Amino acid sequence: MNLDHVFLCGNPALDFAATLRARRSTRFEMFASPDRLDAWYLESGIVDAVTPSREADVEQAVAVREAVYELVTARLAGETYDKTALAVMNNAARRSPVTPQLTPTGRWSDATPEQALSTVARHAVELLSGPDVPLMKECGNPECTRVYIDRSRGMRRQWCGMESCGNRLKAAAYRARRKQVEEPAAH
């Protein structure tokens, strides 16, 4: 599986929740080490620099990620929020967030892992209480568990991304149609 962090979901909290890939099958953990967590914070644009994470920061990030995923999927299903998941996310959001600074060369944000995680949790709070809730969808690929914001015309997007899931499913559907056409001819 690809180790690159992917940002297809349209919101940092959803991209964060998607760092445990293929939840229904092989489950692939993107935060396998503190440096992978730091890489996500940097690549996501949450921070420009982050103090190196420790294993405890990874454990905390995974707990918040799972809480965010649980809350997002509950919201999609129209179910009530799990109290434990709410507490985990809200406790992270209560901490000091990343504070951007203006420098002679532009905006710069230097943070601790706790500040970066708080910022992600705050994105989740804003998402789940904001106007984008009706735009949230789960990817149409049954193996994929990413939830994304569908801003497409007519809200007709079916996959988290064409490269990651759309092309794979379209190719599989094409092969299935070809097989159906070829089988009757073989009789």
Average pLDDT for 73-96 = 97
Could you tell me what percent of the chain has a pLDDT over 70? 85
Tokens of 127: 């998402």
What pLDDT sits at residue 177?
60
Mean pLDDT of 64-70: 98
Residue 51 and residue 113 in contact, taking contact as beta carbons nearer than 8 Å: yes
Contacts of 12 (CB under 8 A, 6+ apart): 44, 45, 46, 119, 120, 123
**How many other CB atoms are found less than 10 A from the CB of residue 155?**
10
How far is CA 183 from each of CA 135, 177, 178, 186, rounded to the nearest angstrom?
41, 10, 9, 5
Computed over every residue of the chain, the mean pLDDT equals: 89
pLDDT of residue 16: 97
Regarding predicted confidence, which is higher, 27 or 173?
A: 27
Higher pLDDT residue, 123 or 181? 123
Residue closest to 15 by CA, chosen among 151, 140, 146: 146
* Tens of pLDDT, residues 128-178: 999 999 999 999 888 888 999 999 988 888 888 767 685 654 555 555 566
Q: Which domains does the chain have, with CATH numbers?
A: 12-186 (1.10.3300.10)
- All residues at 6 or more sequence positions from 46 whose CB lies less than 8 Å from its CB, including other chains: 12, 98, 109, 111, 116, 119, 120
Confidence of residue 179 (pLDDT cuts 50, 70, 90): low
pTM of the model: 0.85
Average pLDDT over residues 12-30: 90
Structure tokens at 105: 């060369």
